[in-house]
Amino acid sequence: MSTRLAPGDTAPDFTLPDADGKPVSLADHRGRKTIVYFYPAALTPGCTKQACDFTDNLDVLAAAGYDVIGVSPDKPEKLAKFREKESLKVTLVSDPDRSVLDAYGAYGEKSSYGRTIMGVIRSTIVVDESGKVAHAFYNVRATGHVAKLLRDLSV
C-alpha cells in the first residue's frame, strides 16, 4: 500500500494526459495553489456529483488562487465523454497505470460494501505555491466534500 502524504511533504510531480490527450503537469501550476483530487471512475454517481461540485465552485476557487485537477485511472476518451455529458469545466487527467495515484497514497485497500478491496481512495491534496502539501484529505465523501473543503480553506 502506498504512503499517504502529510502537510509539509513535497507533492510528487506528474505529467498526465487530459481529456483531450494534452499533457498536464503539476509543475505548470507552480506559483498557484492547486487542488489535486482523486476519484475512482468517471460517469459514476458519486464521482459525477463531486466533479459537478468542483465545476460549480471553480470561479470561487480560482478567485481565491486555486487551480483544480481531477485524477482518475480512466482513459482520456472516457474523461472527454464525462466532461461533455456533465458540462464539466474542471481539468480531468488520466492515470491508467495508477503511478500518480500510488505516489499520492490515493490507491490501496479500502472497504466497499463490507469487503476489503484494492481501489482508488477518494482523496484531495491541496498543494501550495511552492509545491508542498498544505492539506491532505483521505477517504473523503463525494457529496458535500467541496463545501467542506471551501470551509477548511476559508474560501
Point out the residues that are catalytic.
47
Closest alpha carbon to 38 in 50, 29, 28: 50
Other CB atoms within 10 Å distance of the CB of residue 32: 13
Instruction: Give the separation between CA 148 and CA 120, rounded to whole angstroms.
Output: 21
Q: Which helix (H) or strand (E) holds 124?
A: strand 123-127
Q: Which region, left, alpha or beta, applies to residue 154 given φ > 0 means left and ψ of -120 to 50 means alpha?
A: left
The neighbouring-strand residues paired with 137 are 124
By residue count, the chain amounts to: 155
Amino acid residing at 141: R
